[in-house]
Amino acid sequence: MNYRIRKLPSLETIEKNVKKAGVRLAPEAAALTLSLLNCASRVQEEIIAPLEREGLSEGKFLLLMALREQPLGLGVRELALRVGVTPPTMSIMLRRMRQAPKPLVRVERLADDARARRVQITSEGIELIGRIFPGHLKRVAAFSDRLSGQERRELARLLLKLSDPADDE
């Protein structure tokens, strides 16, 4: 998908449509959600798509980054927690990464527990992350360049508040 800023409806247009629909909804909530969706599309195009062109999903990228910081490796469950997927999903990711022409990870069974496995990054994985990480960081930084440091901190705080399900209780 080529990212293009979608022209979002004005607050007045949203207000009219909310009234017409007979729904009780703060028009600002709809405007916020539409803006967030637009922003998410831009993140996908500018930050995630370049990783995908390198053959990495966001999850595989996070997996390699987590392993790069733990040269002795991590267990599958711990790795799944760090990446934000279930252990079965992590097992599928690991199988695919091990079956690649140049495997990015290796999995070892632990001697003291035949069911437990430790995952480590391979030299190919280290090389790939080393090659793509600087460009990734530049894209991440450029994404919010138009905001001041204080605006970035405030927006990050607000987005965290929206994304934390614990705040719903």
Residue 118, phi then psi, degrees to nearest 5 = -115, 135
pLDDT tens track for 18-27:
888 888 888 8
CA distances to 81, 88, 110, 111 from 114, in Å: 21, 17, 6, 6
- CATH entry, 56-138, from 1.10.10.10, 3.40.190.10, 3.20.20.70, 2.60.320.10: 1.10.10.10
The average pLDDT across 69-79 equals: 91
Q: Which residue has the tokens 């091990």?
A: 98
Question: Residue 29 corresponds to which amino acid?
Answer: A
What are the start-end ranges of the H helices in 22-165? 27-43, 49-53, 58-68, 76-83, 87-98, 123-143, 149-163
Domain boundaries, the chain: 56-138
Q: Which residue has the tokens 């995630």?
A: 48
pLDDT tens track for 100-126:
889 999 998 877 766 778 999 999 999
